[in-house]
Amino acid sequence: MGGFSPASAAQRCAVGIHTSPSSPVSRSRSRRQQQPAPPVRRRRLAAPLAVSRRSLLVPRAVAASTDRASPEVRTLPPPPSARKRLDGLLTSLPFLSCRAQAVGRFNLESNSELQVTVNAAPQGAIAEINFEATNTSGSLVLHWGALRPDRGEWLLPSRRPDGTTTFKNQALRTPFVKSGDNSTLRVEIDDPAVQAIEFLLFDEARNKWFKNNGQNFLIQLPTSRNQGQGASGATVVPEDLVQIQSYLRWERNGKQSYTSDQEKVEYEAARAELTDELNRGVPLEKLRARLTKTPESSERDAPAAKTTATKELEKRVSKHEKKKKYSVERIQRKNRDITQLLNKIKPGVTKEQVQAAPKQPTVLDLFTKSLQEGDDCDVLSRKLFKIGDKEILAIATKALGKTRVHLATNDVEPLILHWALAKKAGEWEAPPLSIAPSGSTLLDKACETSFVESELDGLQYQVVEIELDDDGYKGMPFVLRHGETWIKNNDSDFYLDFKTKVTKKAKVIDTGDAGKGTAKAFLERIADLEEDAQRSFMHRFNIAADLVDQARDAGLLGIVGLFVWIRFMSTRQLIWNKNYNVKPREISKAQDRFTDDLENMYKSYPQYREILRMILSAVGRGGEGDVGQRIRDEILVIQRNNDCKGGMMEEWHQKLHNNTSPDDVVICQAIIDYIKSDFDISVYWDTLNKNGINKERLLSYDRAIHSEPKFRSDQKEGLLRDLGNYMRSLKAVHSGADLESAIATCMGYKSEGEGFMVGVQINPVKGLSSGFPELLQFVLDHVEDKSAEPLLEGLLEARVELRPLLIESSERLKDLIFLDIALDSTFRTAVERSYEELNDAAPEKIMYFIGLVLENLALSTDDNEDILYCLKGWNQAMEMVKQKDDQWALYAKACLDRTRLALASKGEQYYNMMQPSAEYLGSLLNVDEWAVDIFTEEIIRGGSAATLSALLNRFDPVLRNVAHLGSWQVISPVEVTGYVVVVDKLLSVQNKSYDKPTILMAKSVKGEEEIPDGVVGVITPDMPDVLSHVSVRARNCKVLFATCFDPNTLSELQGHEGKVFSFKTTSADVTYREITESELMQSSSANAQAGEAIASLSLVKKKFLGKYAISAEDFTDEMVGAKSRNIAYLKGKVPSWVGIPTSVAIPFGTFEKVLSDDTNKEVAQNIQMLKGRLAQDDFSALGEMRKTVLDLTAPTQLVTELKEKMLSSGMPWPGDESDQRWEQAWMAIKKVWASKWNERAYFSTRKVKLDHDYLSMSVLVQEIVNADYAFVIHTTNPSSGDSSEIYAEVVKGLGETLVGAYPGRAMSFVCKKDDLDSPKVLGYPSKPIGLFIKRSIIFRSDSNGEDLEGYAGAGLYDRLVNFFHETQFTHMIKNSFSITAKECACFSVPMDEEDQVVLDYTTDALITDSGFRSSILSSIARAGHAIEELYGSPQDVEGVVKDGKIYVVQTRPQM
């Protein structure tokens, strides 16, 4: 994959890839325009790449066809370098001398070919080209043009066959003549200057193009040529001389930076100059000698070395010839072990950070609260100002119809308030004497009032309160005075705006849930400072820099909070500038200060790097001093140089002087696009609108832009040159992802142009590898290529080369981070551009692209282990294709499923981490609700994860088709009818009862849920294991349960919500149709069994029979459940190669006996109280019940008896290691007992009307087998009901990932009972996590509910999960009383915690070794078959594999 697989991978993947049908000709207009003019900066040379692929036809070449024709075919000519190459080809290859010489025979399709012959003609005669295509339709067309060395476009000859039409004045279209099964055509060329024709074939009836290996066909004509003469005696100048002349012109003109259009003009001007000289009689040889500084022929008799001047000129002129040569090549990626990219750093959230004690309220907090608690008090506006290390709070309120202004400060020094009122901005108007507080002094245009000392909760503060008498006042300006010292707001007046939109902060204060899962105090601090930040970018970035340390101290959520704030700013949700004039260099300096602080945190806190990259990307690079000031200075240069000092340019100039912003990058680009379009003003507005700027926004600036750009045609060249340079300055400050400026900053540059970047010199970053500059040049040369694959490889190679420097915290780290961000951004754009290229691609090509995108995602992700193992999986899938392994598609489908899970996990991580902060801060800052709602979604959509998801969606149907998987997986095949209802999560409705037959379209099903009452069918895009709890429950309850993999089908069904549908199934497909309600009534009897609650069952309450622990020989139905009894029964009866773990048990009634012990009276009382709450349907009591059980104390007798039974059975006694080990075991036992009150078990018993009090729990105690693999067997295929076929699922590690709600699919297989040596794999594993444990003891729930016929109670309790097992972050931000689905599952509890391991299936013999796989799967099938024969009925068997040996840990009747 990329740098991690053989170089031939790309070549293999190219097989079967067709050129995009949107452009039958291989060159785009933009490439034609990029003439080889002398470069002044790194250029993106795409044209040579396309031209270099052109070649003369080769006999027996394959003509590739495209499946669709473009709605708009743009046939474009070769650039000058193509003409040069044509000259070389025609000169080096001999002319055809025979009459009717065969030029080539080409395969068009499997049974069709094209033969081309050319009739040789003497000079001046007509040349004939004959075409014959075999086995074709009658609608074949020749799409063609002629090539002359003196023209840059296709020539459309005047001599044309009958029926020829002109296509957009760019090409000719001539129909073939149908003759039997073949089609023929003759083309005659009478222009002696035409040296070749170029063409494509188009089948109009089938809308299909035929090409020559994805390129145009090119036919050489055998006619003589006159040196220096074209048709009609026209002068032809050799292209090498034109290139030299254009270079010399460029040097004479000051080495300006040209646009593509300017380059073309310059190149043709150079040609015209030389043509003029030749027409004036200057010999061509003399002209060459002058330009190349070489002797004429008379002086060349003796060999001589080239002059220094000649060598230097050739060196200079050949620079972009080298670029052309380099741009043709693909880079050779280095072979690396991809685990070198492994990064296991996980951003951590500590419980203390999330649940930190609320900050001690300040006296100003208490003052605010006292105002809010007043009757009908509405806060009109609130503003907190900093005065040194103190603060002053200004609040305007309205209560009982009266408006009041309150100013409070924690400064206890005597203060005077010097204040006034304003009815318009900037006004100071003395208040009426009637509203001045007692003791005030009225001045000419102000009033002075002393602050009054006060106290709240023992805290001192000072306050002034003013009651207004007129609602016409807009605000209150004020300053403070301490003695003779005036205190101002950063050299400005303080100002409280009465009309400021009321923030929502007042509404969410002290509600409890507001701000949960965030660094709440930090976000509130940001909100307090926002008004000051709105003054300018300088203020915002300086405030942000001041907040960096506070964000760091708040941990991950603090960093996230800072990112959310900056993201709101960058997406224009916050005010950028308000009544403040600031110099660009001041903005740049503040920006540089902020990004320097972020850089320092990046070095010291690697766990935050992923979020810090996001912040840096949103902020831009900045730069102290000259970098920012150039924005202000260079706009003046543009105006002066190009005579555009008025109108829109002057308005933009004033805006730039007042406050530059990222909008200026967009405005500059819009002006450039407008000029390039020959002054089409609609192009200007289109660029603005596409980037979120409309007329209203332009008018909203402090220095508004009212006018539209308007220029003269003679200004075009200079403006494009100068604005192009100016864009570099704008992006250097504002863009965090601009590739060219990022490369220039890291590689170093020195600018000498007049007025632009004068004297600016940036040195290269130290430590870069020797070939890194060439690699970046390759990227720039290919950045606009239509075929993105070489570019993507170059971008990834550059990022991998850069990675060590990013990890090592090298010098100028910030510049390297911005370069990496730019490379990442360019990669995503290139992939999105390549979607069309992949439309007709072979599977290997798509897999190769998926691997490239995965590698890019891994390079941008802090914790990338799962992503890298996904990448290794795709590499292995491509290797399987190469080896012609017929299982490749099935394996690739598992890789695809796992990759999707990785993306979903990443999305969930982002949502949990960011969305609470976005919602809380958004509420504080009054951000538009829609922007808050989509905050995390937009972050994900803007990253590589979204790009990868789009590729997976394209590839999924391809894989399903190749692997013969279809669009459905039927887990429970039942024919049902019912009303379609759409829900997000099955978990959210599992306890609901539907009063009519319902078919749920559930967007999420994890595997642990219950089927709600009244539900007859569940359709989902999720992929729970066939043997998961919900799958078993669906089959037990005769409920249709199926996974739909086709998003279109799923969307169609969801669109029928509320309608009645009928579903019919086979083992591999589902058919459906809409029916009437009357048909539903007729079919209601068919649904009678489906979805209804199982008939009422009863339990017999179990009693304590005097033993706290028993050995296996004492397992009876009065003492233990079916699980324990089955294990005891198997001992000694199964084949010797099947192991049965040693077991003891804690029998029924022991829990109740322990609860009645005197040491546990308080626990018993609490449980009784909680049972009362449950009886009142207070289900929050379930969680409290489980926690209460954990407070039990073990009676001495229980400890003694359990120790004796375990030791006598050969099991280790935990207490022999330490008292702590016994406490671990005792806690595990209590967790098993507590699982009686997990949500799923409780509601399940209610559903079947079982008395929950009668449910008794014994505990099966076994020594854990440290498994390599775990399996579950159903000895009758549960999907098809085929009793002759065993179905089984296998996972790596312990079985909890199989029977629990762990994401992903297990390996699944079937095996015929009469051919147990031939297992058939149905699906490869996609579970990312495996659980492993050292030697330990496991305690399994074994209830009397499992003994009931027709009720699968076993699934309720059998889950190997720690009682409080969930991610730390999810646990801390959970808003409801309930615990996770894993906790809700009933339990088997190991004494020790399992290790979670991210699985690498490419090193797993079960996947990679077919012999080992067949042996293990056959052994599993044999064990299941043996146990079924032992019981005489279908069995549900669980077991493990250790060192190739099969162990069965439990069996029960298959439901």
| Cβ atoms of residues 1352 and 1094 within 8 Å | no
If we measure between CA atoms, which residue out of 431, 450, 453, 432 comes closest to residue 440? Answer: 450
Contacts 24+ apart (CB under 8 A), 287-291: 287/241, 288/238, 288/241, 291/241, 291/244, 291/245, 291/248
**Which strands, in side-by-side order, build the sheet including 459-467?**
378-387, 390-399, 402-409, 459-467, 452-456
Amino acid 623: pLDDT: 54
Which range among 912-926, 957-971, 1090-1104 shows the weakest confidence by mean pLDDT? 1090-1104
| Cβ atoms of residues 838 and 624 within 8 Å | no
Higher pLDDT, 1182 or 264: 1182
Q: Which helix (H) or strand (E) holds 1038?
A: none
Amino acid 1162: pLDDT: 94
Q: For residues 963 and 955, what is the distance between their CA atoms, to the nearest angstrom?
A: 12
Tokens representing 1206 are 């375990």
Query: In sequence order, which residues have a C-beta less than 8 Å from that of residue 546 and are 6 or more positions away?
Result: none
Q: For residues 857 and 855, what is the distance between their CA atoms, to the nearest angstrom?
A: 5
Higher pLDDT, 655 or 650: 650
Chain-centre distance of CA 526, in angstroms? 28
Section 310-323 average pLDDT? 47
> How many beta carbons lie within 10 A of that of residue 1427, not counting itself?
23
Predicted confidence (pLDDT) per residue in 40-64, tens digit:
333 332 222 222 222 223 233 334 4
If we measure between CA atoms, which residue out of 991, 984, 997 comes closest to residue 1011? Answer: 991
Query: What 3-state class would DSSP assign to 1277?
Result: coil
DSSP letters, 169-182, are TTEEEEEPEEETTE
Q: Is the pLDDT of residue 190 over 90?
A: no
Tokens representing 1141 are 């773990």
Tokens representing 1414 are 């067949």
Give CA separation, 1287 vs 1198, 1295, 1301, 1319, in Å.
41, 16, 20, 10
Report the amino acid identity of residue 379.
V
Q: For residues 641 and 229, what is the distance between their CA atoms, to the nearest angstrom?
A: 42
- φ, ψ of residue 1175 to 5 degrees: the values are -60, -25
Q: Is the pLDDT of residue 228 over 60?
A: no
Predicted confidence (pLDDT) per residue in 491-527, tens digit:
788 988 886 544 444 333 444 567 889 999 999 999 9
Percent of the chain with pLDDT over 90: 38
Predicted confidence (pLDDT) per residue in 1021-1051, tens digit:
988 877 788 888 888 788 999 999 888 899 9
Q: For residues 269 and 39, what is the distance between their CA atoms, to the nearest angstrom?
A: 16
Which range among 252-256, 411-415, 708-712 shows the weakest confidence by mean pLDDT? 252-256
DSSP letters, 879-942, are HHHHTT-TTHHHHHHHHHHHHHHHHHHHHHHHHHHHHHHHHHHHHHHT--HHHHHTHHHHHHHT
Q: For residues 913 and 347, what is the distance between their CA atoms, to the nearest angstrom?
A: 10
| Cβ atoms of residues 827 and 856 within 8 Å | yes
Predicted confidence (pLDDT) per residue in 1264-1285, tens digit:
888 999 999 999 998 888 999 9
Q: Is the pLDDT of residue 268 over 90?
A: no
Q: For residues 911 and 38, what is the distance between their CA atoms, to the nearest angstrom?
A: 50
Highest mean pLDDT of the ranges 190-204, 617-631, 1144-1158, 1329-1343: 1144-1158
pTM of the model: 0.66
> How many beta carbons lie within 10 A of that of residue 1081, not counting itself?
11
If we measure between CA atoms, which residue out of 220, 231, 230 comes closest to residue 96? Answer: 220
Helix axes 556-570, 609-619, angle to 10 degrees: 20
Band of pLDDT at residue 857, cut at 50, 70 and 90:
very high
Predicted confidence (pLDDT) per residue in 1383-1420, tens digit:
333 468 888 888 999 999 999 999 999 999 999 999 99
Section 1069-1083 average pLDDT? 84
Band of pLDDT at residue 761, cut at 50, 70 and 90:
low
Q: Identify the bridge partners of residue 1015 per DSSP, sorted by sequence position.
A: 998
Query: In sequence order, which residues have a C-beta less than 8 Å from that of residue 1081 and are 6 or more positions away?
Result: none
Give CA separation, 621 vs 71, 742, 751, 1116, in Å.
42, 9, 19, 75
Report the amino acid identity of residue 759.
G
Tokens representing 577 are 């500038």
Amino acid 602: pLDDT: 93
Amino acid 1020: pLDDT: 94
* Residue 320 a catalytic site member: no
Q: Which helix (H) or strand (E) holds 829?
A: helix 813-833
Highest mean pLDDT of the ranges 50-59, 371-380, 495-504, 675-684: 675-684
Helix axes 647-658, 663-676, angle to 10 degrees: 160
Amino acid 235: pLDDT: 61
Predicted confidence (pLDDT) per residue in 585-635, tens digit:
788 888 889 999 999 999 999 999 999 999 998 887 665 444 555 676 678
Tokens representing 49 are 């790449």
Section 987-1011 average pLDDT? 89
Q: Is the pLDDT of residue 708 over 70?
A: yes
Which residue in 1029, 1274, 1365, 1425 is the catalytic one? 1029
The residue assigned the tokens 């009465």 is 498
| Cβ atoms of residues 1198 and 1151 within 8 Å | no
DSSP state of 1191: T
- Cα(first)–Cα(last) distance of the chain, in Å? 45
Section 882-901 average pLDDT? 93
The angle formed by the CA atoms of residues 1249, 1250 and 1254, to the nearest 5 degrees, is: 155
Tokens representing 1330 are 């495996």
- Specify whether the backbone of 142 is left (phi greater than 0), alpha (psi in -120 to 50) or beta: beta
Q: Is the pLDDT of residue 264 over 90?
A: no
Amino acid 608: pLDDT: 94
**Which strands, in side-by-side order, build the sheet including 1143-1146?**
1110-1111, 1143-1146, 1257-1263, 1337-1343, 1388-1390
Q: For residues 486 and 1251, what is the distance between their CA atoms, to the nearest angstrom?
A: 79
Give CA separation, 461 vs 367, 457, 476, 485, 678, in Å.
9, 11, 21, 20, 66
Q: Is the pLDDT of residue 486 over 50?
A: yes
Query: In sequence order, which residues have a C-beta less than 8 Å from that of residue 1052 and are 6 or more positions away?
Result: none
Predicted confidence (pLDDT) per residue in 1191-1223, tens digit:
999 999 999 999 999 999 999 999 888 889 999
Amino acid 1109: pLDDT: 95
Query: What 3-state class would DSSP assign to 766?
Result: coil
